Amino acid sequence: MTAPLDGVQVLEVANWLAAPSAAALLCDLGADVIKVEPPSGDVFRHFDLASINPHDYDLNYAFELDNRGKRSIVVSLDRPGGPELVRRLAAQADVFVTNLTPPRRQRYGLDDSAIRAVNPRTIYASLTGYGTRGPDAARAGFDYSAFWARSGIMGALAQPSSPPPLNRGGQGDHTTALNLLAAILAALLLRERTGEGQYVEVTLQASGMWTIGADLVAAAVSGKQPPRHDRTNPPNPIWNSYQTRDERWLLLVMPQPEPYWGAFCEAISETDWTHDARYDSLAVRREHAAELTSSIERRFAQEDLAYWSKRLDQFGLIWAPAADLPEVLADPQVEAMGLLTTVEHPEAGPYQTLNTPFEVRGASIGPRGPAPALGADTESILAELRLSTAEVAELAANGVLG
């Protein structure tokens, strides 16, 4: 089978998660991705994983996920000849991916106009926290700040009178990466039609706003913050979370409850509720939501999750367990859909990782191998540029190659 992006070359001048993970997905689709790193390497290579997951690891699994299948070249942009070498690489690239802030792009001569001057057909793919225009164009942003907090997600998820929750690292980055991937693929298709290079721009803030779009458009129409829902007094008690006897949590998700109300009452053995005037419609249940929620809580607390799993499924209700991550990995549905795969690392051996999060049936997609060691492909990439021995020696002498 053919890989969709076979023959497409991507040059990545980026670090951390969002832009590199988009480039990793391009690699999964068959592109040849060259990752440009400083002599110290992408900062995420050295990230302390214990700060998010306190275990000992022989491998930086998160860096591996977002950089699998790429090739690595070391180029110091702060040394004479460094930016010029990157521009020479860009001259033969179909896609140029960067998350450098606009001031750094200007400083190194790696902005859109400079890259387009050496390669008018390239797709220049920009990913930043807030964009390249406006008062915050130079502001650095992580997914915690730009995607999670500044977009409104963090505040909207806060319980009344409680501090807003923190997200898990990389959620906003990987969501934004999918937007960047879509934009790049659209630009490549447009180039096929017009023959012209394109500029695409994706931001963490805009991606976060898109994910909470229903609330944002409601606020735009009303001019007000949508209400923050208290789980002890929700608008709809069967769209809510509950804890079971074995201290597990499950989520009921029945946004249009009328078709499900009777079945739900049967599932939890509270059929009298179907004849209770306090609960005979969603509007009335909303008036008594706190009381009803408390009653549902007491009922779920009487049995373990395994019991409720069978009962809720038996009556065709929409729900899901709040799964622990090891449970996710062992989920039969995950196995059936091939959402996990194994990659062979030359030093650490085989390790399990996430597969490409979409399918293209009839095409070859998926991880092409592990993340590269820092600078592992510097020599071969320079050979592909057909640099002379003297040119390579000069770059090395100037500290460009680390």
- Predicted confidence at residue 339, as pLDDT, reads 95
- Predicted confidence at residue 284, as pLDDT, reads 86
What phi and psi, each to the nearest 5 degrees, are found at residue 399? 80, 10
pTM of the predicted structure, to 2 decimals: 0.91
Q: Do the strands 71-74 and 9-13 form a parallel or antiparallel pair, or are they unpaired?
A: unpaired
> Per DSSP, what are the bridge partners of residue 320?
251
Looking at this protein, which amino acid is placed at residue 259?
Answer: P
| DSSP secondary structure string for all residues of 348-391 | TEEEEEEPPSS--TTS--S--SPPPPTTTTHHHHHHHTT--HHH
Nearest to 18 by CA among 155, 153, 130, 159: 130
Domain range annotation of the chain: 9-212+338-397, 239-323
> Per DSSP, what are the bridge partners of residue 74?
37
DSSP-assigned letter for residue 22: H
- Predicted confidence at residue 50, as pLDDT, reads 62
Answer for the pair 95, 125: CB distance below 8 angstroms, yes or no.
Answer: yes
Q: How many whole angstroms from its chain centre is CA 174?
A: 1
Average pLDDT per consecutive 10 residues, the chain (402 residues; last block may be shorter): 93 96 97 96 83 68 94 95 96 97 95 96 96 91 90 86 83 96 97 95 96 91 85 92 96 88 94 90 89 96 97 96 94 95 90 92 92 94 91 89 87
Angle 117-120-121 from CA coordinates, rounded to 5°: 150
- CATH code reported for the domain at 9-212+338-397: 3.40.50.10540
Q: CA-CA distance, 10 to 43, in Å (whole number)?
A: 20
3-state secondary structure of 192: helix
Q: Which residues lie below 8 Å from residue 320, measured CB to CB, with a gap of 6+? A: 250, 251, 253
- For the domain 239-323, what is the CATH superfamily, name and number? formyl-coa transferase, domain 3 (3.30.1540.10)
33 torsion bin: left (phi>0), alpha (psi -120 to 50), beta (else): beta
Radius of gyration over every alpha carbon of the chain, rounded to an integer in angstroms: 26
Q: Which two tokens stand for residue 52?
A: 């998010």
- Predicted confidence at residue 156, as pLDDT, reads 87
Looking at this protein, which amino acid is placed at residue 320?
Answer: A
Nearest to 292 by CA among 300, 302, 321: 300
Estimate the crossing angle of helix 204-211 against helix 213-222, to 10 degrees. Answer: 80
Q: Which two tokens stand for residue 352?
A: 């399990």
Q: CA-CA distance, 110 to 104, in Å (whole number)?
A: 8
Q: CA-CA distance, 341 to 346, in Å (whole number)?
A: 16
